[in-house]
Every structure is written in structure tokens, then in C-alpha cells.
Amino acid sequence: MTNHENSASYWPVLEKLPPFLQQAWENSAFRKPTEIQKQAIPPIMEGKDVLAEAPTGSGKTLAYLFPILQKIDPDKKDTQVVILASSRELVMQIHEEMQTWNAGSGISSATLIGGANMKRQLDKLKKHPRVIIGTPGRVHELIKKKKLKMHEVKTIVLDEGDQLLAPEHKATMEDIIKSTLAERQLLLFSATLPEASELEAKRLMNDPEVIRVGTENEKPAVEHGYLITDARKKVDTLKRLTVIDAFKGLVFVRDIGNLEVLAEKLRFKGLSVGVIHGDSKKEDRVKTLKAFREGKLALLLATDVAARGLDIASLRYVINYDLPNETGQYIHRAGRTGRLGSTEDGTVISLITRDDIKKLERISKEVDLDIVEKKMYKGELVDAAQY
């Protein structure tokens, strides 16, 4: 693990930045770099491979975009950076950030997403985007078709790298990385970095700088609690939460089957509900997320895969309708609320039966968080110990 000494001193003063980044910085909500940005930007600028773990919402995207944008040559009509992400939503989120920070730079970018129209994507490639942001399957497909040229790619970024290096994606990722020149730079960022993912990443990297920023460095204002309920009353318990003033909640459900059943039950009870899952069509996802962001839906039901990388400004509530199977999933779910720069505090509530208590206690211990029993009292969530 590497920590840069005098971390505040190396952050580039605005006068030394390219004009487009100076302007973007002045327009942004940032006034000082976050911890992951302090630690990751110098080695990236030096051309080193970087393996970084930092909490969701701590500013990881800008930690790699900022140095990458300074290194791209806009006059060179080749793809110079490829950013890979695990979901369509995360690709689009990164692309939005890219557009914010590259304004006026002449640095073009394009998204390549599985399931999207192939002809439109080929048209994008004909315009010589300097940066490609995409899902691994589609990027790999276009490399094999020789439509995406990788010979001038200097940097590859794996965003949510633990997902990208899962066994089912291993061969695809290796092929993509090997399609570039040997001296390319490889950057991996993730909220959680299991040992297996770290070992796999190091195998693909050249003496990487390993950076870990814990929640003590960038701790979002998030409260963690649980409501005990009978399994058959879970739907009613969830409905009761929606009476909280200005309630807007992202609800995690175990799988698509359970999600669809829950959505039907909630709609029957008169609630405005949206759903996103792995089989959702792109246009349906976009429409549903827009309605949720605009406050037209009280609840957005999602599976873990579908919600990976979702960035919903000022989301106050994350609800675990079903407890996650793995501790890492709890961290990713919780990271959707209380995000850096949000004006709202966040709350994570798990709806559990008494049979789930031991499982939640294990998660609490592993993530080192106090998860407190709650009750509903006069339309508000309160600590059960007080009543």
C-alpha cells in the first residue's frame, strides 16, 4: 500500500492546468481533491499502473479522468484511452463525467454498449474518438471485427474492476488488454477488491502502485438500520416507509422473479414503482431512471447487476428488501446513497425476519458498521431502543 507524503502539495494549481480543465474545475462543485484523487493522480500522471480501492461515492471517476485528459493528444486521430465498465449505466455515468471535464478540449469520446445499435456505434468509430467507454463484450467484439483499432491505446481503465475480473469475464478482459501495445498503462478502480481480483489484476499489470482509501478517509454521511418484520408483511413494511416525507428509495431485490412479483404487489397497493434488471431494454431503463430522478416514482426496484454504477443525485434511501448474499454487495448497495457532494444524508434500511438477524450481524461485523434496529413512529424512522 502506498501513501504519497504531503499529499496536498502535489495537487496541480489551476494556473498549471490546461485551460479546459481550469474552466471545468471552476465550474465544478469541487474545492479540493478527495483522498483517492490525492493518492491516485500522481502515479497515473507518472505513467504507472495503478490498483485502487476506495468507497463508492468517493470521487474515483475523476481520480482517473483528470490525469488521463491531461495526457491525451487531441490532434492525434486515434483512440488513446479505453475505459471498461461492468454495466450500461456505469458506462453512461462515466461518459457524462467525461463530457463535463473535456468541454472545449477537442478530446472526443464515444460509448460502446452491448445491445445497442451496431451501425450507430460503427459510425461513432469513424469519427475517431480519442476515448472509448464501453462494456467488455461489445468492445471485444469490435476489436475482433477490426473496427476498433487498439494500436495507439496508451491507457486502459477497469472501472469496478472486481466485476470485470470475475472468472466469467477473464478471457475477454485478457484479449482486450493484450490487443494493446506492451507498454500500455493499466488502471483498476473498485469499491471492493477481493484477494482473487487483486491477484488477477497484478498478473496483468506491471509493478502496480496499490492504493487503498478506507471509509475513515472519505466517510459519506450514511446511517445503517434494519426493521424486523414477518416475511408475509414485508410488502406492507416497505409501503409504510414511503409515507416518510419526501421519500425516494432504491430497493434491492434478490432476483428478477422476486422483483417482478414485488412490483406487482406494490402497484396493486397504489404505489408508483419502477423496475430495472439485467433483462430491461435500454430505452426502458433510461425512461425509468429519468422518472425516478425527477421524483415521479417513490420506489425503484433493482437487482444488484442492474444497479451497479447507478449514480442518482441526492438519493436518501437504499432499502435491502432481500439481504445480499455477500458483504461486498452490501457495500455497493449502500454506496448508492450519501455520495460525495450530495446535499442529503443517506439511510440504508434492511428489511429482515428474525431468521435473518445472524446474517445481518455477520455483515455488520465484516463491514465494521453499526447497523441499528429501527421502528416506524408517527411517520418517521426512529431508533427502536428509544421506544
pLDDT tens-digit readout, 238-284: 999 999 888 889 999 988 889 999 999 999 999 999 998 877 777 88
Closest CA to 238 of 279, 216, 209, 267: 267
Q: How many CB atoms lie within 10 A of CB 227?
A: 20
What is residue 184's three-state secondary structure?
A: coil
Task: State the average pLDDT for the chain.
Answer: 85
CA–CA gap between residue 387 and residue 383 (Å, rounded): 7
Question: 73 and 108 in contact (C-beta within 8 Å)?
Answer: no
In order of their start, the domains of the chain are 7-212 (3.40.50.300), 222-386 (3.40.50.300)
Closest CA to 105 of 28, 20, 14, 27: 20
Phi (first) and psi of residue 301, to 5 degrees: -90, 135
Strand pairing category for 346-352 and 372-377: unpaired
Question: 172 and 136 in contact (C-beta within 8 Å)?
Answer: yes
Each residue's pLDDT tens digit, 290-323 = 898 888 999 999 988 766 666 676 788 999 999 9
Each residue's pLDDT tens digit, 52-98 = 998 777 788 889 998 899 889 888 989 999 999 988 888 888 998 88
CA–CA gap between residue 54 and residue 1 (Å, rounded): 13
Q: Is 228 exposed, middle or buried (0-12, 13-18, 19+ CB in 10 A)?
A: middle
Closest CA to 330 of 320, 339, 338, 321: 320
Phi (first) and psi of residue 200, to 5 degrees: -65, -40
User: Is residue 32 predicted with pLDDT exceeding 80?
Assistant: no
Each residue's pLDDT tens digit, 319-369 = 999 999 888 788 888 877 866 555 567 899 999 999 999 999 999 988 888
DSSP structure string for 246-281: T--EEEE-SSHHHHHHHHHHHHHTT--EEEE-TT--
The 3 state secondary structure assigned to 82-110 is EEECCCHHHHHHHHHHHHHHCCCCCCCEE
Residues paired with 226 in a beta bridge: 350, 373
Each residue's pLDDT tens digit, 155-213 = 999 998 888 988 888 899 999 999 998 889 999 999 888 888 888 889 889 999 999 98
User: Is residue 29 predicted with pLDDT exceeding 80?
Assistant: no
Each residue's pLDDT tens digit, 357-366 = 999 999 998 8
Residues paired with 249 in a beta bridge: 299, 317
Which pLDDT belongs to residue 345? Answer: 76
